Structure 1
């Protein structure tokens, strides 16, 4: 199991790299994250929902994603509430106290999934969540040491040197663990190091003397690495507002933005300058404005209005700009959004932006499926996935944005200036990306394949793991488990 001293210490990345490295060596290996809290998710071939990071880790193992790889997924819709997903299916909304009471059932799901994986695979690489030293969350823990103790799993602890205080993070984390938990940690990994490794060695030697535990290696900072983000929002393109970009694209940084990995292909496209616009900043002039997905559509629509985006969107359209709505963003384009069951907040209805003639009602059964078909633009091939509780109805849907194998999807305005769709991953298919960039105003878009960049990122991490970590010790821990 890989645990971290902090959130974003590199747990997901290290698990991905270890999975690919072991897969290359011929191991039957699978990833596992007992509990994930994230608004970036993926749909399995069986129609279940899991964290997106685990889908990428499955790819690193040469496997299709499965709900057993992430049996508990928490999707926050408010500061104090999350939708709880067990084995790929939503079981309800819970605040923190109610979820604590639910934990025994969640633990049962976690242990069932882990048992199934260990029966099928030689190696299971487990990812923790946050930090094991969050002592306020120790009671009933299923994400870190609570799980490791339940299944008797050895742990490696990773810390991010780029944050500063790496030795304090590692020693402080050990100090806050129980004796049995401290014994369970078999070594350390230091992540995102830059510079002369010789200057770090005195600190490593001190750490090993102080704790009696080895440092298994130091992973370098991998500049420009692309892997789908587990949850944290990537603020801008790798070139940070490219001066030579031929197309400007922006999206509002909604408080509950979901599946923002939809925009990765735009962030990395060499002809596109894409960035999110946050609180207190009105949108600058742009060619394409995209309303992203949301875990709380009515709440995020109210935020948009409060930030002055409604007038800015209408001004953008008057000047001939293109507007695209993805999933929750698509729902915002209609006349109204109804949530009679209170699935994403208090029950009620909200007026939409009234740019397309349809209404959406949130229903209890969530739509979860992988989809493929063609765009209305040049019949370009499109492939992606749907995750939404909303069902949209109205005349605008008679002019669909996509023709999917399962039927028509989305809507396009009569003048072709506004497009809305439920398809996440819309830009991941090179044909669809090219057609959409041309529609948005780019005369000659270059073909770009984000899937190839993802595969390259997985291999880069695996190369670093093989080169910099003590793989023989790691394989020894796995062999110990097999015995």
Structure 2
């Protein structure tokens, strides 16, 4: 195939749709016979993923790699920042944590060039294997106060020699000022790399923006490659949890009602995407104590700050509501940090997470967790320990956690899963009380069927759901949506020009 220039989707701001647009182009290039790969030099997100090598990257790049039809690895996201509080983040470099930094410490000039070299080296390795590289920027590319320390936006575009497409969100208003102002705040060298503009999230009749499109092109001297309508019928995994509150709602009749506890430091919320699409299930996010007690199943998700979230749950009454609901027969399951919360205690003697050294857990599982600065990141194959039949290790997931959980022996319990390497995972005391360290466990239909089996009377007419096939269909629908509204011939012309 013809060699294409690398392409970067940069933003006028945060949450303008860069990640989704990048995923769409990963799928488009794959469909058109190329071998694309995603790249984001620096990502800030609580939602992460374990590569096949057992290293950690941002979930958005794992999704983009999936859209491109390839396995993910750390060169696609060499620098990941995982917020631990309003002021500090864990820094993950090339898949491994290297410590925590405050925002002030992180953005100081000292040491930036070492990080810059690391992300540039990762890009260079990727560029030798794939064509084209689909880069994603972060936030706004016009944060001029951060220009000297920027690793991910225009400095990376200049290093890569990428053609930059500026993505603007018209739904939030002020699209003319955001596009023009962004371009005018760039240096002449940076401005020369902007080859196109995409207006994203348009609502209404596209013809109404024809004059606006011409005005932007005249003002900026840069072509508008497309105006992409807002959509509601395409489902791609989201990078941020900002929209979860909109999924908070009352229970429904005729379905299994599953409540996901809204932790303040909730992470890896994509664990529950499959349940949102399962026709047997009504899934909602809440920390309303009345809604929790009306659920059939309560899921406690992962947390980037387990002790802090445990303290909050005890303070706002949610912890007691979960315990009360379980006493009334509601199934409770914890994943990763949620599993730790369900035990008898969570200890942090080395202050890995903060000042709290110990808190009693919910007491639903006979386990104790001690925090450690050693992070476990790995993909796993496993099988249910609850089945009496011999079965292969056909289920898949991944672990990303800090802390070691051991059984206390105060009550009978069994492991929930058996891993392919011979070790055990999780804990189960009854069919309605269990915990696991495995993210993605709910992507396995066999496990979902096990979880929902006690509620078969509610699902008489429901059909099974193939999540893998569903995701592939969504990537194709997204690609078609972009093809319909973006001038692809002009994009290819830009990516093959010799200027």
Alignment TM class, shorter chain as reference: over 0.9
For residue 442 of structure 2, give the secondary structure of its aligned residue in structure 1. Answer: coil
Q: Kindly indicate whether the alpha-carbon contact (under 8 Å) linking 2:251 and 2:295 is maintained by their aligned counterparts in 1.
A: no
1:95 corresponds, among 102, 105, 108, to 102
Tell me how large the CA RMSD over aligned residues is.
2.3
1:293 corresponds, among 296, 302, 318, to 302
Write the deviation string for residues 71-111 of structure 1: whole angstroms up to 9, x where unpaired.
00111111111110011111111111221244322211110
1:405 to partner: Cα distance: 1.1
1:34 to partner: Cα distance: 0.6
Structure 2 length normalisation: TM-score?
0.91
Q: Residues 255-294 of structure 1: matches in 2 within 5 Å? A: 255-278=264-287, 283-294=292-303
In the other structure, the counterpart of 2:442 is 427
For residue 292 of structure 2, give the secondary structure of its aligned residue in structure 1. Answer: coil
- Identify if the C-alpha distance between structure 1 residues 225 and 239 changes in structure 2 by more than 3 Å, giving closer, same or farther: farther
Answering whether residue 430 of structure 2 is matched by residue 410 of structure 1, we say: no
In the other structure, the counterpart of 1:161 is 170
Residues of 1 paired with 2:209 and 2:231: CA distance?
A: 18
Answering whether residue 354 of structure 2 is matched by residue 341 of structure 1, we say: no
1:377 to partner: Cα distance: 4.8
2:339 corresponds, among 330, 345, 348, to 330
Q: Which moved more, 1:92-101 or 1:37-46?
A: 92-101
1:233 to partner: Cα distance: 4.0
Q: Which moved more, 1:270-279 or 1:246-255?
A: 270-279
1:172 corresponds, among 160, 178, 181, to 181
- Identify if the C-alpha distance between structure 1 residues 102 and 225 changes in structure 2 by more than 3 Å, giving closer, same or farther: farther
Q: Kindly indicate whether the alpha-carbon contact (under 8 Å) linking 1:288 and 1:440 is maintained by their aligned counterparts in 2.
A: no
Write the deviation string for residues 299-347 of structure 1: whole angstroms up to 9, x where unpaired.
0111111110121112101211110011000001112212233322236
Residues of 2 paired with 1:193 and 1:343: CA distance?
A: 45
- Identify if the C-alpha distance between structure 1 residues 447 and 236 changes in structure 2 by more than 3 Å, giving closer, same or farther: farther
In the other structure, the counterpart of 1:311 is 320
Q: Kindly indicate whether the alpha-carbon contact (under 8 Å) linking 1:82 and 1:94 is maintained by their aligned counterparts in 2.
A: yes
Residues of 2 paired with 1:102 and 1:306: CA distance?
A: 40
Structure 2 residue ranges without an equivalent (≥5): 1-7
Q: Which moved more, 1:47-56 or 1:447-456?
A: 447-456
For residue 120 of structure 1, give the secondary structure of its aligned residue in structure 2. Answer: coil
- Identify if the C-alpha distance between structure 1 residues 384 and 267 changes in structure 2 by more than 3 Å, giving closer, same or farther: same
In the other structure, the counterpart of 1:41 is 48
Residues of 2 paired with 1:11 and 1:158: CA distance?
A: 7
Q: Kindly indicate whether the alpha-carbon contact (under 8 Å) linking 1:3 and 1:157 is maintained by their aligned counterparts in 2.
A: yes
For residue 427 of structure 1, give the secondary structure of its aligned residue in structure 2. Answer: helix
Residues of 2 paired with 1:9 and 1:359: CA distance?
A: 42
In the other structure, the counterpart of 1:384 is 397
Q: Which moved more, 1:273-282 or 1:310-319?
A: 273-282
Answering whether residue 24 of structure 2 is matched by residue 12 of structure 1, we say: no
2:493 corresponds, among 470, 473, 476, to 476
Residues of 2 paired with 1:47 and 1:163: CA distance?
A: 39
Write the deviation string for residues 158-179 of structure 1: whole angstroms up to 9, x where unpaired.
1122222222221222233223
Q: Kindly indicate whether the alpha-carbon contact (under 8 Å) linking 2:197 and 2:226 is maintained by their aligned counterparts in 1.
A: yes
Q: Which moved more, 1:470-479 or 1:299-308?
A: 470-479
In the other structure, the counterpart of 1:363 is 372
Residues of 1 paired with 2:76 and 2:305: CA distance?
A: 26
Structure 1 length normalisation: TM-score?
0.94
Q: Which moved more, 1:324-333 or 1:192-201?
A: 192-201
1:294 to partner: Cα distance: 0.3
